[in-house]
Amino acid sequence: MPELDGWQINCWRGLWMATALLAYLILVHRTEIGARFDDIPFQVVLVSALCFAAGTTFYVTSLTLTSTATVSVIGATSPLITALLSPWITGERPHILAWVSAVLALVGMGVIARDGLEVGHVAGIIVSSFVPITFALQTLLLRKYRNYDMMFSICVGGFFAFLLACIGSFVVGHHSPFEISSRSFYLLMLMGPLQLSIPLVFYGMGAKHMPAITLSLIAMLDAIFNPFWPWLFVGERPSVASMIGGSIILGAVLLTTLGHRFISARQA
């Protein structure tokens, strides 16, 4: 969809993500959907929804102010932010292996994006810094309130993202969010559920069973699959830096998911 800008994509992707999540929630909870929504504290729904909407908006905005590589490397600090905030929000104190893994993931992302890193663009760097913060907060809230179905809050966040992107498209974008072709409209209708709704449902399920920093690190595998899919489907060969950086990130994820279990077993 090269004819669309980030605001248009974020607008309709957010709407269809929220719509798909709403359908999922109706299917799962049926007649109890209202009661299950009321179970979640209002302030939790509001903060979680705003984190999601703000994170996607900051991401789109940052891409207009600085390079994708810069945004990616700054975004890779999310596991470190998650580790720093975990003791205060979830009461979980990350193991030393989790800290090492978070640093390794950041290094791996730096290797992947090093050719595109820029000096300057202070505004882009400042805006980009809010992306990992909002993602870390979202992950920590999913973990802390894992006894609730937090897909309700993310569903609300999707509708918030739609509204914010609509406003952003009119104010700072180059096109109206409604100036899209039928083809792009249907592609975005698929993108919302496939790229966001379905992964987020599984991410919420994972939050019930593993620490927040492990969740955040597993999400870093996105950096490995980003070059993998184009190579598989359209023949774009990944760069050496992508393969090396991806290997480092994969090693970091394996270290935090398997290393602590191995040490615990040895101590036992």
Tokens of 215: 């969740």
> Rounded mean pLDDT of 61-72?
81
* Residue whose structure tokens are 């709403």: 22
**Amino acid letter at 204?**
G
pLDDT of residue 265: 64
Task: With cut-offs at 50, 70 and 90, classify the pLDDT of residue 236.
Answer: confident
Cα(205)–Cα(143) distance, integer angstroms: 10
**Amino acid letter at 21?**
L
Domain residue ranges of the chain, discontinuous segments joined by +: 6-267
Cα(239)–Cα(261) distance, integer angstroms: 33
pLDDT tens sequence across 165-175: 999 888 877 77
pLDDT tens sequence across 114-167: 777 765 677 888 888 999 999 999 999 999 999 999 999 999 999 999 999 999
Query: Positive or negative CA dihedral for 119, 121, 125, 128?
Result: negative
Tokens of 232: 């598989």
Task: With cut-offs at 50, 70 and 90, classify the pLDDT of residue 266.
Answer: low
pLDDT over 70 (residue 233): yes
39 contacts 150 by C-beta, under 8 angstroms: no
pLDDT of residue 103: 92
Cα(239)–Cα(37) distance, integer angstroms: 46
- Which of 177, 186, 162, 187 has its CA nearest to residue 8? 177
pTM, two decimals, is 0.88
Cα(113)–Cα(268) distance, integer angstroms: 41
Give the relative orientation of helices 212-219 and 78-89 as an angle to the nearest 10 degrees: 160
